[in-house]
């Protein structure tokens, strides 16, 4: 019998594992950035960005379909899933291998075509993963899936430093990625309780494709919007520039990741329970949006005042050039956090189209970055394309709300955008003046936020505490 307590324990385990895996990957990037040459790190980051864009096999979310489908425990369904997963994985690998030459030439590293072909092994390996671990998630048995991801991450992070002395160039990052994928697939078979077989059931196949094709499109848009920036940077800059941009992105994305996987994991069920009460739903949504805006201001202040120092401390003085774009990317991430709240509120109301429209609008940042690169060639101007894209994305998501529910959204977006641009100007100061300006600006914007959103803190303390503490409604439906 599935109880609310068991659901919460499972959700907590998954959240903790995602945070741990992300943290280990981040630590590994710090180790590699300090041990590899800057150009090698930039080249490997570029290869992995192309892999993320072209690996469309995972976007069918076949493992999630095993969890979601009413027939997920049927051996016929599982085996058809294995067969389709293998076909899409082989197709992804073939596409990456065939495009290796043109991609290498376009990236101005024609001698690197072999690396693209080598990375084609990643989707090929993933094609043979076992679905049994995800079938067991239907009964909230998350431990096998968590182990299959966490253990390879731990082993690779521990091995990164000693291996850097043996393979001291970009090849190490590619090998580590392939070993990670292969280890995860191997553990899926090691921990499985059922045999790995193929089947071909047309009815199941049609259902999988109907479910998966919107996710393929949405996932492709998300991959292009998140990885496309560094591809543009590679076109108009050097490999060292790509390294600067990649590391600045990895640092500022940490708050967005934590916010998306932890805070929103609580927000979705709260808003889902109140969607039948529109006034309460709207109050809770606006409170979340306003509190996110105020939290974003604090994040922007830290990024402007100390982001460069933190980046240099972690990655070393070679990457001091990335400090200049960190505050720019922080503005984009602050806008993305607002979009995450909006998309989650819409998802709670059973509207999932906002994510698709938001990712589509986010792609407007790519031509903006390309135009900046073509006319100026400066990394700061190309990074500004991320702000353009995230602003377009958050406005597109806001338009997905009904007209009466948009009130306050534009004001909150302007509050964060204006504050972000002010902190961006502040980050250009040097020495103690930057810290003083950031502190004064934070105090002023916090005071303005308190005047704009006087009810947010009171409602957060009263309304959200009551909502989260209330027993989960409809617990019987979990049985």
DSSP string, 198-255: ----HHHHHHHHHHHHHHHHHHHHHHHHHHHHHHHHHHHS-HHHHHHHHHHHHHHHHH
Residue 83 inside a domain? The answer is yes
Q: 252 and 329 in contact (C-beta within 8 Å)?
A: yes
Which pLDDT tens digits describe the chain residue by residue (479 residues)? 445 566 567 667 777 887 888 889 999 999 999 999 999 999 999 999 888 888 776 667 677 677 767 787 888 999 999 999 999 999 999 999 999 999 888 877 888 899 999 999 999 999 999 998 888 877 778 888 889 999 999 999 999 999 998 999 999 999 999 999 999 999 999 999 999 999 998 888 888 888 777 767 777 887 887 788 888 898 888 889 999 999 999 899 887 777 766 555 567 767 777 778 888 888 888 888 888 898 899 999 999 999 989 999 999 888 988 888 999 999 999 999 999 889 888 877 767 677 788 888 999 999 999 999 998 778 899 999 999 999 999 999 999 887 767 767 888 999 999 999 999 999 988 888 898 999 999 999 988 887 888 776 665 555 445 544 544 443 333 33
CA 258/CA 474 separation, integer angstroms:
29
Residues 267 and 307 in one domain: yes
In this structure, the answer to whether residues 56 and 186 fall within a common structural domain is yes
Residues 193 and 293 in one domain: no
Considering 171, 191, 226, which residue would you say is the last residue of a domain?
A: 226
Q: Where is the domain boundary, 207, 226, 245?
A: 226
Residue whose token pair is 């774009």: 325
193 with 288, same domain: the answer is no
Structural domain includes residue 87: yes
- Domain shared by 209 and 255, yes or no: no
Euclidean distance between CA atoms 275 and 266, whole angstroms: 15
Choose among 230, 165, 175: nearest CA to 34. Answer: 165
Q: Which residue segment(s) compose the domain that 261 sits in?
A: 237-478
Residue 280 lies in a domain: yes
Does one domain contain both 204 and 252? no
Q: What angle do CA 294, 295, 298 make, to 5 degrees?
A: 95
Residues 218 and 241 in one domain: no
In a domain, 179, yes or no: yes
Indicate whether 115 and 38 sit together in one domain: yes
Q: Please check whether residues 243 and 222 belong to one and the same domain.
A: no
- The domain boundary, picked from 194, 226, 258, lies at 226
Q: What does the CA dihedral 299, 302, 304, 305 come to, rounded to 10 degrees? A: 170
pTM for this entry: 0.82
99 in a domain, yes or no? yes
Please indicate, yes or no, if residue 173 is contained in any of the structural domains. yes
- Concatenated DSSP letters of 385-446: HHHHHHHHHHHHHHTTS-GGG-TTHHHHHHHHHHHHHHHHHHTTS-THHHHHHHHHHHHHHH
Whether residues 211 and 301 fall in one domain? no
Contact 52, 223 (CB under 8 A): yes
Contacts of 124 (CB under 8 A, 6+ apart): 89, 90, 92, 93
Do 243 and 221 fall into the same domain?
A: no
Query: Do 378 and 469 belong to one domain?
Result: yes
**For 384-420, b where at least 16 C-beta lie within 10 A, e where not — what string?**
bbbbbbbbbbbbbbbebbeeebeeebeebbebbbebb
Report yes or no on 9 lying in a domain. Answer: no
Domain tally for the chain?
2
- CA-nearest of 217, 248, 255 to 233 is 248
In the block, tokens 């239907």 appear at 138
Question: Does a structural domain hold residue 232?
Answer: no
Could you give the maximum distance between any two Cα atoms of the chain, in Å? 68
Phi-psi region of 471 (alpha: psi -120 to 50; beta: other; left: phi over 0): beta
């Amino acid at each position: 019998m599935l109880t609310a307590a068991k659901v919460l324990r499972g959700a907590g385990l998954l959240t903790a594992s995602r945070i741990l895996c992300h943290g280990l990957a981040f630590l590994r990037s710090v180790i590699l950035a300090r041990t590899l040459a800057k150009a090698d790190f930039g080249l490997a980051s570029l290869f992995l960005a192309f892999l993320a864009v072209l690996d469309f096999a995972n976007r069918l979310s076949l493992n999630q379909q095993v969890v979601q489908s009413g027939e997920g425990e049927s051996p016929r369904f599982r085996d058809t899933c294995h067969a389709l997963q293998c076909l899409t994985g082989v197709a992804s690998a073939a596409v990456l291998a065939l495009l290796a030459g043109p991609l290498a030439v376009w990236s101005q590293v024609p001698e690197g075509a072999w690396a693209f072909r080598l990375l084609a092994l990643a989707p090929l390996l993933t094609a043979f993963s076992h679905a049994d671990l995800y079938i067991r998630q239907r009964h909230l048995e998350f431990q096998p899936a968590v182990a299959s991801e966490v253990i390879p991450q731990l082993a690779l992070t521990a091995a990164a430093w000693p291996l850097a002395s043996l393979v001291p160039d970009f090849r190490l990052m590619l090998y580590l990625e392939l070993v990670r994928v292969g280890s995860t697939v191997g553990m899926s078979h090691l921990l499985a309780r059922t045999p790995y077989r193929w089947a071909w059931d047309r009815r199941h196949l049609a259902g999988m494709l109907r479910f998966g094709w919107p996710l393929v499109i949405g996932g492709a848009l998300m991959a292009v919007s998140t990885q496309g920036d560094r591809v543009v940077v590679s076109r108009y800059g050097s490999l060292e520039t790509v390294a600067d941009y990649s590391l600045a992105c990895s640092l500022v994305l940490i708050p967005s990741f934590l916010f998306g996987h932890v805070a929103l994991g609580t927000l979705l069920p709260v808003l889902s329970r109140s969607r039948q009460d529109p006034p309460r739903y709207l109050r809770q949504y606006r409170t979340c949006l306003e509190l996110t805006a105020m939290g974003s201001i604090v994040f922007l202040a830290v990024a402007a005042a100390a982001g460069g120092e933190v980046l240099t401390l972690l990655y070393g003085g070679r990457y001091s050039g990335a400090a200049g774009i960190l505050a720019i990317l922080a503005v984009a991430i602050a806008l993305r956090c607002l979009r995450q709240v909006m998309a989650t509120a819409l998802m709670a109301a059973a509207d999932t189209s906002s994510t698709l429209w938001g990712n589509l609008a986010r792609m407007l940042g790519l031509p903006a970055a390309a135009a900046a690169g073509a006319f100026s060639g400066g990394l700061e101007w190309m990074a500004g394309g991320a702000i353009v894209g995230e602003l377009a994305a958050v406005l597109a998501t806001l338009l997905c709300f009904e007209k009466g529910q948009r009130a306050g959204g534009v004001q909150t977006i302007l509050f964060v955008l204006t504050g972000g641009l002010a902190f961006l100007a502040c980050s250009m100061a040097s020495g103690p003046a930057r810290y003083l300006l950031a502190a004064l600006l934070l105090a002023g914007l916090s005071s303005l936020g308190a005047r704009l959103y006087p009810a947010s803190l009171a409602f957060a303390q009263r309304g959200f505490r009551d909502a989260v503490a209330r027993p989960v409604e409809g617990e019987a439906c979990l049985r």
